[in-house]
Structure 1
Amino acid sequence: MRLFNRFAAATALPRQRGTAGPAPHLQICAHTDDDLYFMTPDLLQSVEAGVPIVSVYLTTGEADGINLAMDDPARKTAVPDFAGYTAARQHGIRAAYAAMVTGGRRAPWKRETLKVRDGVTAEIATLGENRVTLIFLNLRTGHGADGSSIIGLWRETSADLATLRPTDSPIPAKSDGRRMTRSAVIDTLADLLKHYAPSVVRIMNPDPDRTAIDQKTGEITYADNPDHTATAFFALAALDVYERTAPEQPPAVESYLGYCNKLRPNNLSAQQAARKFSYLNVYGGEDGHDCEKAPGLCGDRPLGNRAYNRFYGQSTSYRWQPSTSWLQLRADGRLTAFGVRGGRPVMWTQDRPGGETWSGPEPLGQWPATDGRCLSRLDAVRDASGRIHVIAVRARVGAAPERQQRDLMHVVQDAATGEFGAWTDLQSPYSPAAQHEARRRSLGMPIVAVTGNQVRVVIRNFGGGLSTRLLTEEGWQPWGDLQGGALEGAAAVTLSKGTVEFYATSRMIGMGMLRWHQTTSGGAFQRDYGTQLARPAAPVTLVEQSDGSLLMFSRQPGTGWVLANRQHTAGGTWNTQPEITDTTPGFGPLAHAVLPTGEAALVQRSDDHGLTLSIQPLDGSALSHEWTPLGGSPLLHAPSATLDAHGRLVIAHLDAQARLNTLALDPSNGYRPAGTPTWSAHPAPASRVAEPTRV
């Protein structure tokens, strides 16, 4: 049986795990350390949970071909060995995964060849019973690529790109230098997606932050390696091909920042960062392994002990910042959860108000069928009439600048039927013209606020400020600019008096947080650069207290602790001395729900990727330091929480198989679990077929 029927001599991929096994998580990376650097600890959590792992590496990353530490004097006279350095990097990643799975770098790998598109022979290495599978396409990039690059292949300025056979690879010597076209890369990735049928796909960042603009030429410098960007584009193109086959389990997709992490506050705790760097040390040969006798078996020596001081490994950040508002109560009393599977928005809905069973996932409205995918963040609000509005981002990618489009999309329930109809294209603050490609790609993720029946959406724009559109009874108003200069990850709050406020982290180190606020409902926004609030490591959570002042919960950089700040008076200045509410490290934004008791329920993702719950007062009294473990590990994106028709606190998350999981907590027990929390998966886990369909 063959994987790719174009070639009679193609090698079959290994059989998947048994029928009861979970679907794998598949990473598409540019270089052999990208999954360690940018997708861990999510990746590590998947490994520890027993989820099968498949990582695909597009390039050799052979750089200058010298596998010596950057401070090694021998570098000055060393002769480049591109094949040898590539082999060392691949040995390093095998050693790192072996350490994750077995606790030590030495483990037996099964190394084989795999014929892919254009007659190229790739290498496939497996650990255990397909516990970890690594696939190396070996496209050249760096000094040995003769001016070609993977970004040039994507942009069609290069017709094809040569492959490189690593030293001691099972790939036949005669296959060294085989060339691969753009379409072959896309189709190969699509073939792999179809074979492995992953529940989760992790990709690089297609739209990195800019760091400089040449005022004369307009050329933009981005805070990332162009190999990362090109690999993300190839991954998105392959996902589009794969998803058009209507897979039985469309995947959830997560995009990770690369070098852009160093522009943001560190969002991993010291413990999580140490775990990440321990495996990077294995990869780079800095784990005490003897390198003298066999330097090629040491790993990536130029990375070596520099992994920490590059400053982008201390964070793991999502390009599409997750929302915590994706669980909402319908006017008919049923809860609906919103998500994205296979590049399309979906929803799960309670079968009856307050019930335990849910239906879904089913399509959320009529998404445009043929053009563009829905990115993984959905923001949802409920207006005064009880209708739910959902805002998404549609992305279209292509080689030409005019094909790179990013647009906001809106869908709302019908007032009479409660059904979701066709999505409305809100477009972008920037025109679709080719010269505005960089501006469109710089857009952040939507934040939505509602006042009465007016819905306001804001996004971070190319200049770092907030762009906004407002939905009134007359329809959507034109885009406006609230200006400012912030990092991605704004947060919104609507106050009881009908005004809206937004908070975001300043781009300028030392300026803390910025505030945009109204003094009257529907009024113009004013900017406050003097909040003096410290820069957080995740979007903040804002809750109105009983006296009208705000209570802010934030994540402290470098520790992952949960901090709280209070306004002195409603609309006034902030007490900038935070209160510590939790010293157990955690990650990402906090979900919250205001309870009938006048308290707020907070739900956070802890360092073990489970969830914990705290009930906090909103009357100005002392904050609680009690956090109750809820389990739920591992999970995707961020949790959401709200009250159901029976007044229960319902907490939701997506599990490692991208299924909706819910936990209902009764008010009679103080909204805390009675005994061990029991999560319900919707739908119930399905069996895996023994052998996936072949291409």
Structure 2
Amino acid sequence: PVLYLLAHPGDALAATGSELHRDLAAPDRPVAVVCLAAGERTDRDRLLHRLGRDAAWHHRTEELPDGESLDVHSVAGDPCIEVCFTDPGRPLPADPPEPLVDRVTALLARFAPATVRTLDPDPEHTGWSEEHGAVRPDHPEHSAVAQALLEAVHRATADGAAPVAVECFRPAAPCTGAHPVRIPAVVRYPGRRVWLTRGPQGHLTAYAALGGAVARWTERTPGGPDWSGRELLRTPRLLPFLAVAQAPVGWVHLVSLRRTPLPSGGATVEVMHAVQYQSGRPVGEWRSLGNPHGTGHDKGREVGVPAVVVDPDGCAHVYVRNFGRGVSARSQRPDGSWAPWRDLGGSEVQDGLAALLDDRGRPELFAPSTEGVLRWHRDDAGELRPTPRERMPLVAAPGTALAALASGPGRITVYGCDARDRMLYACRTDGAATAVGTAGGAGVCVLRTPVDGYDCTVLLQRSAEGVTAVGAYPTEQEHAGLWWERTGGPGTREPAAAVDAFGRLVVASLDPDGRLAVARQDGALPGLVLGGWTTA
């Protein structure tokens, strides 16, 4: 089941519209929309009309454990769709108290969802003054609902409940909630949802952010096909995001975000880091890298989604968008300690950074902005510096992440969804830019691997229909054309890919129930042909 936990009826269309309509179109998938601050009767009726399309609704009332009533509306003849309202008769507080968390906990038990979609716990600022701090026009009840959900999910997971996949959304423009407006929604934490790495002994390991923690699956033997069951790693309370990078020796660096309420009110968000040294073994201690703005409750809560890369010396480099909409970085020293945060500059940067090593093993960083893709590269002195004259013409759609690949000597190809036409483009650092298909999800996964002896680039994304789509072409030959194959596999998250111990392509995603879904290349057939999907 998929649960939409929102504040107001208008949020269902203004903040999560495209995702909601995709879920409603999926056959036999139970979908529930719950509004905790139900608002005016006309707003409720408008939502029921938009979702039911003049269908008859059945109404009943249930009582939640805290004594509040839950008005449940289900479409006649389609019990898979429920729209529910609770109306406490008073505004939801900005910092959710225990009763609100308890109510959300009761709703999680009532609907038992595998996926919950909600609002932004830390909305973006539109202004700043030393006297009044950050100006955030987003309705405060949006963040109250999201914060209560994150706390309830963490508690449920700690109590042994099945981990829930959480997705947060923010409007592409400010939404006050007073007059719901149909504006495009964007993913709050854009980027990959599943990651695949291959260890020194050849075992593949999959990682995903679930239930306020990190879930892990590991191949039982190199090359599969069997996987271990889902294992929840011991982590601090994490936000629903994960970035992964692998060192040359095989160590896997995990980076996420932790949101910590402050005693004085508000919250701060810290970058968290841990290392797995051996496939299937315990992960090292999670350590806080802080954030570029310290513990301030205003600037510190708007840390962007991290990107991470590990250089040939085994040192990790973490990059985030900062409060000023530039980029900040923190790098590991050879002795394992961390240098302080430093400001790399940039302007109007969006979330969705891409970090990688070039063909000489030097870190490179690409950041989407409203003025094109910005680039930083390491100079001969070892410093990462911006290249303002090499701004790429791609204007990435908000809520989507870039992907990048070292595609030739001194050349890098960057992939992203352009906001102007929603097409997926391949942009090379030598100036070439080519459309390679229609963008469907919140990002693309890219992998360079031989196919029938040819050097090929493989792209994977979540299609507009919500399934995993795979395309391949000879590296740097976008003019040859690219055909996307919709595999029929689950696309509830952006997919991941890796090459197994026998050189076969492996594609992984999460199914609607939060299980790992895997498809492996059929090595007995020519070309890039995937076998059937299995779950672990």
TM-score normalised by L of structure 2: 0.91
Distance 1:462 1:524, change over 3 A: same
| Residue 526 of structure 1 pairs with residue 386 of structure 2 | yes
Secondary structure class of the residue paired with 1:138: coil
Distance 1:416 1:680, change over 3 A: closer
How far, CA to CA, are the matches of 2:107 and 2:280 in structure 1? 42
Structure 1 counterpart of 2:21, from 41, 44, 49:
44
CA–CA distance in structure 1, aligned partners of residues 43 and 377 of structure 2: 51
* Residue 460 (str. 1) matches residue 321 (str. 2): yes
The CA distance in 1 between the partners of 2:396 and 2:205, in whole Å, is 30
**Which amino acid in 2 is paired with 1:506?**
S
1:32 paired to 2:9: yes
Q: State the secondary structure of the residue aligned to 2:494.
A: strand
Higher strand share: 2
Tell me the alpha carbon deviations over residues 6-30 of structure 1, each in whole angstroms, 9 at most, x when there is no partner: xxxxxxxxxxxxxxxxxx2111101
Question: Matched residue of 1:44: which SS?
Answer: helix
Distance 2:368 2:439 in 1: 21
Question: Aligned-pair distance for 1:427?
Answer: 2.2
**CA offsets per residue over residues 549-607 of structure 1, 9 Å max, x none?**
12222212253322222233xxxxx24xx32222x452321101110342211112211
Partners of 1:445 and 1:459 within 8 A in 2: yes
CA distance in 2, matches of 1:523, 1:55: 49
Which whole-Å deviations, capped at 9, do the CAs of 1:622-670 have from their partners, x for residues lacking one?
A: 342222221224x333111111111011111111111111111145645
| 1:19-168 map, 5 Å | 24-49=1-26, 50-61=28-39, 86-99=40-53, 105-107=54-56, 109-116=57-64, 119-127=67-75, 128=77, 130-140=79-89, 149-150=91-92, 153-155=93-95
- Correspondence for 2:436: 581
Instruction: Give secondary structure in 2 for the equivalent of 1:237.
Output: helix
What CA deviation, in whole Å up to 9, does each residue of 1:162-183 have, x standing for no partner? xxxxxxxxxxxxxxxxxxxx43
Q: CA 1:515 to 1:324, structure 2 compared with 1: closer, same or farther past 3 Å?
A: farther
Answering whether residue 535 of structure 2 is matched by residue 678 of structure 1, we say no
The sequence identity of aligned pairs, in percent, is 26
Query: Of 466, 478, 485, which aligns to 1:609?
Result: 466
- Larger helix percent: 1
Is there any run of 5+ residues in structure 1 with no aligned partner, and where? 1-23, 62-85, 100-104, 157-181, 263-299, 569-573, 683-695
Kept in 2: contact 1:325–1:380 (CA 8 A): no
Given residue 197 of structure 1, which amino acid in structure 2 is its aligned partner? A
After superposition, the C-alpha distances for 1:145-171 in whole angstroms (9 at most, x for unaligned) are 6xxx32xx2448xxxxxxxxxxxxxxx
Q: Distance in 2 between matches of 1:252 and 1:225?
A: 24
* Superposed CA RMSD: 2.6
Structure 1 residue 211 corresponds to structure 2 residue 66: no
Per-residue CA deviations over 1:382-431 (Å, capped at 9, x if unaligned) read 11111111111122346x54562322221212369954222222222232
Matches within 5 A, 1:331-342: 331-342=200-211
Q: Is the 8 A contact 1:225 1:259 kept in 2?
A: no
Judge conservation of contact 1:500–1:521 (CA < 8 Å) in 2. Answer: no
The one-letter amino acid of 2:497's match is: A
Distance verdict in 2 for CA 1:619–1:587, change over 3 Å = closer
Q: Residues 671 and 402 (structure 1 numbering): CA distance in 2 closer, same or farther, change over 3 Å?
A: farther
Q: Do the aligned partners of residues 668 and 122 (structure 1) sit closer, same or farther apart at CA in structure 2, a change above 3 Å counting?
A: closer
Per-residue CA deviations over 1:59-94 (Å, capped at 9, x if unaligned) read: 133xxxxxxxxxxxxxxxxxxxxxxxx222212222
- State how many pairs are aligned: 525
Counterpart Cα distance in 2 of 1:640 and 1:445: 18
- Matched with 1:319 is 188
For 1:41 and 1:195, how far apart are their aligned partners in 2? 25
Compute the displacement of 1:119 (Å): 3.9
Q: 1:129 to 1:610 in 2, by over 3 A?
A: closer
Equivalent residue runs for 1:152-301 within 5 Å? 153-155=93-95, 182-215=97-130, 217-247=131-161, 249-258=162-171, 260=173
1:665 is aligned to 521
Aligned pairs for 1:540-579 (under 5 A) are 540-568=402-430, 574-575=431-432, 578-579=433-434
Q: Provide the C-alpha distance between the structure 1 equivalents of 2:20 and 2:384, rounded to a whole number of angstroms.
A: 44
- 1:524 is displaced (CA, Å) by 3.6
- Kept in 2, the 8 Å contact 1:224–1:259? The answer is no
The 2-side partners of 1:195 and 1:431 are apart by 39
Task: State the SS of the aligned residue for 1:431.
Answer: coil
Q: CA deviation at 1:618?
A: 2.4
User: Aligned in 2, Cα 1:98/1:325: closer, same or farther, shift over 3 Å?
Assistant: closer
Q: Is the 8 A contact 2:355 2:364 kept in 1?
A: yes
Could you give the per-residue CA deviations for residues 252-273 of structure 1, whole angstroms, max 9, x where no partner exists? Answer: 11111135479xxxxxxxxxxx
Instruction: Say whether the 8 Å CA contact 2:167–2:240 is kept in structure 1.
Output: yes
**Out of 628, 638, 642, which is 2:498 matched to?**
642
The runs of 5 or more residues in structure 2 that have no matched partner are none
Secondary structure of residue in 2 paired with 1:56? strand
2:323 aligns to what SS in structure 1?
coil
Q: CA-to-partner distance for each residue in 1:104-141, whole Å, 9 max, x for gaps?
A: x222x22122333654333222234641222211134x
RCO higher in structure (CA 8 A, sep ≥6): 1
